[in-house]
Structure formats: C-alpha cells, structure tokens
Structure 1
C-alpha cells in the first residue's frame, strides 16, 4: 500500500512534466506532417483555418457535457479578452536560491535557443540516407532580416498568448470550454484573414490525402488535446513552466529531421540543445520550490481546520450536560 501510495504521489507530482513532454512530441510530429502537406500543395492559411475549426468541433461536446455545471457565464468583457489576447501578467519571483534558479534557467534556455538559431558551426556527417522522402516542393525565399523579424514577433505573441491564458483561467476556470472557444474564435479570425489574402477558391478544396490527415491531426491533437493540456498545466504550474518546455520541440525536430529526413545537422544545434536542457533543468528545480511551498501551505491549512480550538471540546461537553439536565428538570 505504501509503495502504491508513493508511486501515486510521484505520478501526481510529475504529471504536468510528463504531459508537457508528450505535448512537445505532438508538436514535433506536427512539423513533419504539415511540411509534407505544404509540399503537397496545401495553403498554410487555409490549413490553419480548417485546423482551428476541427479542434473546436471535436472539443465542443466534451466541453458542453463535462463542464456544464462548473462553466462560468461568458460575459462580453471576457469574450473580448479571449478575442484580443491583450492582457499581460508576470509570474512572481523571489530572491531565494530557487527564485534565482528560475530566472537563470530562463536566461540559459533563451541563450540555448539563440545559439541554435544564429550559430550553425560545422555540419555533422550524415550517417545514412533519408528514411522518408516528401514528394513535391515548396518555394523558399531567403530573407534573413524579414525572417528574423517575423520569428521574434512570433515568439512575442506566443509568449503573450501563454500569459493571457493564465489570467483568463482565473476568471474562466473551465479548460475544455476555453479550449473550444479559442479554437472557434481563432478559426473565425483566420478565415477572415485567409479570405483577404487567398483569392483562389481551389485553395479551399481538400482531398482525401495528406492534406486532410494533417488538418485532422492538427485540429484534434494540437488545437484540441495539446492546448487543453497546456491550459491545465498553466493552471497547475503557471505560464513560465509551460513555455519552458517549448524548446524541446526545436531539439526534437532537429534530431528527427537529421535521422529521418536526412537533413543537415550543425554543431550549433547540438550545443544550443545542451544549453536549453541545462536551463530547463534549472528552471524546473526552481519551480519545485513553489510546489513544496504549495503543499506545505495546504497541509497547514488542513491542520488548522481539523484541530479544534482550545476549550471547544470541554465547552461542548458542558453544554451537552446542561441540556440533559434541563430536559430532566422539565420532565
């Protein structure tokens, strides 16, 4: 019993870590299946639109029935908050060793990502041919300045999205419903944008091929399941914990692309990957202090509720005796 209880406690403790790692594997596979779809001719804007709507449709019945009793009322202000994603909040840090570790781990991981992005270094010799070949081709326009600006903008909006989730969950603590709303609203926004930039009706046509499978996978697994996992982990551990796992997908993509697709792997990617893992470990070690403090406060709170106040038991006995005496006198 003790062994089982220990394993159960260990599982509950590291459940968010496991879920986030699995989520990064899901993002990694998304990269490969969407690359195959884009090379097949799928329009990226149309893909995003369909993916969001598929995620919303799949998550809707779960959200409606499972959270029917706990789902708060969606006010206009809250809907606008979901729509614009404009609120900003930061996770609290302190001056303790673990607090410094959280800051240091974040900076170290950021350094690792920058190394992987900006420093290439010598190319590693390919151990063999590609195991998978994608048919078709995509036109690549190399523009370092434009690409860098778009990449930085993407990182900023991605970070704001995570922070906004933590804020919204405090007002709307229904992860399934929030996932559904984000999917439908995101799909509507993407549809409007796509209609403005894509003018060929043929681009919206999807056949029974890799395009359809990539949309289903992206909608069900990524826009649905993984977003729900991220919301749950955000509520449990905070937005910093969730975002720190994102570099793992970059490492996994680089390694799998090297072994599976036969793409080039630079030493800079390996060095950056090692730095990212070190930073992630530092951050998680710092976050464990928050977990310990939370458990400690919960234990103290439960003890304060269970322990009777001094004199309460004697007083109740005395009153009970008085009541009995009163009844006997009445009789």
Structure 2
C-alpha cells in the first residue's frame, strides 16, 4: 500500500512530462518515415491531406461516444524536400521561444524585471541566435562512422535548396506558434479535447485538399500504393495527427502552450542520432553548434517560466488562507470567498 501511495502522486505530477516525451518519440519517426516516403515519390501536400483525413476518421468515434489547421504541416512537409529531417527538427526548436514572444505581444504572457523575467528575454534571444547560426552557417561535414543501417530506394531525387528549405521551416515555426496559442485560448471555452482534435483534423484535411488541388494537377499524384506511402499516411494520421494532437491538447490544458513546446529539442536529438547512424545522413558542424545554443536558450526560457508557476501556486495558497475561515471559529465577521465570490456571513446565534 505504501509503495502504491508513493508512486501514484509522482506519476500524476509527471504525467504531462511522460506524455510529451512519448509524443516527441512519435514525431521522431514521423520525420524519418516522411523523408522515406517523399524519396519514394509521394507528393507532400497529398500526404498531408490524407494524413489529416485519416486522423479525423480515427478520432471521430472516440469524440462521439466519450464526449457527446493545415498550413503548418504543409510547410513542414515541403521543407523536408529541400533540407533534411535533422535540419528541420533543429530549426523547429525555435517554436518555444516564438510561442513565448507572440504570447507577450498578444498580452497572454507577462514580463517583469526579476531574475526569472530576464531569463525569459535572454533565453528567447539566445534561441534566435542559435537558429540564425544553423541557417547561415553549415560548417564542415562530420564523417560517418560506418555504413547506413537502412537504405531507402526512391524514384524521386530530393534536391537540397538552402533558400526555400529554411524559409519554409521558419514559416512553419511561426504558424505552429500561433496554433499553440490558439489551442490554449480555444480550450478555455471548448474543453473537449477529443472533439476539438476531430474538428481540427477534418477541417485541416479539407483545407489541405483545396490547397493541394490548386498546386497539383496530375491525378496520378493522388494514387497511393501498398508501400511506404500508405504506411506513412496511416502512421502519421493515427499516431501523430490523432493520438499526439490529443496529447498536446490535454497537456496544453494542464500546463499551457509554452510547456508542450519545450520538449521539441528531444525530438531534434533523436532525429539527428537516427538519421546519422541509421540512414547515413550528413551532419554539419553548424547544425550541432546552433542546436546546442538553441537548447541553452530554450531552457533559460523554461527556467523563467517555472517561476511563474511557483508564484501562481503561492498566490493561490495565500488567497485561500485569507478567504476561508478556520473550522469552528466563533468570531463574528463577514467573509468574501467561495465559488462565484458569494458573500458568506458567520454569526453567533
């Protein structure tokens, strides 16, 4: 009994952290599977459309029985055709800093002159410097230690373009940051995460279908065979756009939008390791240096954010201790507190 009582509170406290770690592992395989599918010839915009629709169909039954946005994934998928999963995941580490910066501009986040308040500002600036280094400085290529463990045979050659690629991934970061903030605002008025996931994926799939139809005029591009393209769509639709989107919404409701974005570096690290050792991908020194700087800035921001959480708990405890009278008190007085700030009187009879 004692063991259970000890593990239960700890698991409850770190449940959002564990879920976000699992979510980042899921995103890691998304990058690798997507790159393999695009090399095989899959159109990235068609892929996003099918992925969103599969996710909506998968989540809909859960939302119906348990509970009575498409621009970002399109830009991210397109960026993988011009750069690499490691580079894209490293640049995506700017999302936490951008989310914080936009939250301040939209007055959803406060700033002060305390040590933790300054850590937020410094962390944001450091992260931006790291991203600029990864974008502008590639550096020498690290020598592969051995042969690639996995070889992806494809009919399409992906040409690197270090102008289009970074522009697309930075556009994704801005869209994703706005998306996370919109989630936090929406969940306050519509707290049903499963239903919201269903609506987001179905509407996102419809938007992506229109967008893809405008760019892709070949009917052959919409054909999916029984190969890596199909498995990639099913995995990303069910696991990423379905389960992971729901996990993110739940964690956003519990911890806020900045919290869930602070786990991005974990996916970047896993992607870099898998791509380098398993796929034999080139790893540039600029990506390593910039990635380390981004992570340092990111966790400066996280440390500053943790102060807000501590201050909020102290404020709530002080408010409760002031508003609630002690049990058995015989003092005459008027107390203002309780649900809805109702006036409660305690009088001797």
TM-score scaled by length of structure 1? 0.81
2:9 maps to: 9
Using a 3 Å threshold, how does the CA distance of structure 1 residues 142 and 257 change in structure 2: closer, same or farther? closer
2:21 maps to: 21
2:119 maps to: 101
Unpaired stretches in structure 2, ≥5 consecutive residues: 73-102, 333-344
5 Å matches for 1:104-143?
Answer: 104-143=122-161
The Cα offsets for residues 187-239 of structure 1, whole Å up to 9 and x where unpaired, read as 00011112222222222222222111111111111111111121122222222
**Higher mean C-alpha deviation, range 182-191 or range 280-289:** 280-289
2:65 maps to: 65
Measure, in 1, the Cα distance between the counterparts of 2:8 and 2:188: 27
Contact 1:91 1:238 in 2 (8 A): no
5 Å matches for 1:251-270?
Answer: 251-270=269-288
Using a 3 Å threshold, how does the CA distance of structure 1 residues 14 and 111 change in structure 2: closer, same or farther? farther
2:31 maps to: 31
C-alpha deviation, 1:302, in angstroms = 5.2
Using a 3 Å threshold, how does the CA distance of structure 1 residues 189 and 182 change in structure 2: closer, same or farther? same
Using a 3 Å threshold, how does the CA distance of structure 1 residues 164 and 299 change in structure 2: closer, same or farther? same
2:83 maps to: none
Superposed CA RMSD in Å reads 3.0
Which structure is richer in relative contact order (CA contacts within 8 A, separation 6 or more)? 1
Count of matched residue pairs? 305
Using a 3 Å threshold, how does the CA distance of structure 1 residues 8 and 106 change in structure 2: closer, same or farther? farther
Measure, in 2, the Cα distance between the counterparts of 1:239 and 1:300: 26
Q: In the alignment, does 2:257 pair up with 1:239? A: yes
Measure, in 2, the Cα distance between the counterparts of 1:46 and 1:280: 33
Contact 1:106 1:244 in 2 (8 A): no
Measure, in 1, the Cα distance between the counterparts of 2:65 and 2:324: 34
Measure, in 1, the Cα distance between the counterparts of 2:141 and 2:39: 25
SS state of the match for residue 147, structure 2?
A: coil
The Cα offsets for residues 77-103 of structure 1, whole Å up to 9 and x where unpaired, read as xxxxx7999x95632233322222233
Measure, in 1, the Cα distance between the counterparts of 2:230 and 2:246: 22
2:50 maps to: 50
SS state of the match for residue 20, structure 2?
A: helix
5 Å matches for 1:252-291?
Answer: 252-291=270-309
Measure, in 2, the Cα distance between the counterparts of 1:101 and 1:44: 38
Measure, in 1, the Cα distance between the counterparts of 2:49 and 2:188: 28
Contact 2:135 2:166 in 1 (8 A): no
Unpaired stretches in structure 1, ≥5 consecutive residues: 69-81, 320-331
C-alpha deviation, 1:137, in angstroms = 4.1
Using a 3 Å threshold, how does the CA distance of structure 1 residues 18 and 277 change in structure 2: closer, same or farther? farther
Q: In the alignment, does 2:123 pair up with 1:92? A: no
Contact 2:330 2:348 in 1 (8 A): no
Match of 2:186 among 158, 165, 168: 168
SS state of the match for residue 190, structure 1?
A: helix
1:307 maps to: 326
Measure, in 2, the Cα distance between the counterparts of 1:306 and 1:226: 44
1:325 maps to: none
